Amino acid sequence: MPRIASFYGITITMYFGDHNPPHFHALYSGQRARFTLDGELLDGDLPQRAQRLVRTWAQLHPDELAGCWERARNHALPGTIEPLP
């Protein structure tokens, strides 16, 4: 599960060949959640502050996330995206 970004204790990952809808995984302090590429929570549970940070980050990087998704779906390394400052 390649890491796309890390910020404020949150790790963003994507699985190779994952299923639709396009999404990424966020891990924070032992908790996990899945988000759409535009930052909407699909499932899982993260603290509200972590969810806001993930949503803000996703909204800053829509094109990069789409590219990472396509590469990961095709079993290629998705690459990395700049973290939140």
What pLDDT, in 10s, does the model give residues 7-49?
Answer: 999 999 999 999 999 999 999 999 999 999 999 999 999 999 9
| pLDDT tens digits for range 49-69 | 999 999 999 999 999 999 999
Residue 84: predicted pLDDT = 96
Q: What is the pLDDT of residue 1?
A: 86
Token pair 């998704």 is at which residue?
Answer: 69
**HEC profile for the chain?**
CCEEEEECCEEEECCCCCCCCCEEEEEECCEEEEEECCCCEEEECCCHHHHHHHHHHHHHCHHHHHHHHHHHHCCCCCCCCCCCC
| Residues 6 or more apart in contact with residue 44 via CB below 8 angstroms | 26, 31, 32, 33, 34
**Confidence at residue 54, expressed as pLDDT on a 0 to 100 scale:** 99
> According to the model, what pLDDT value does residue 24 have?
98
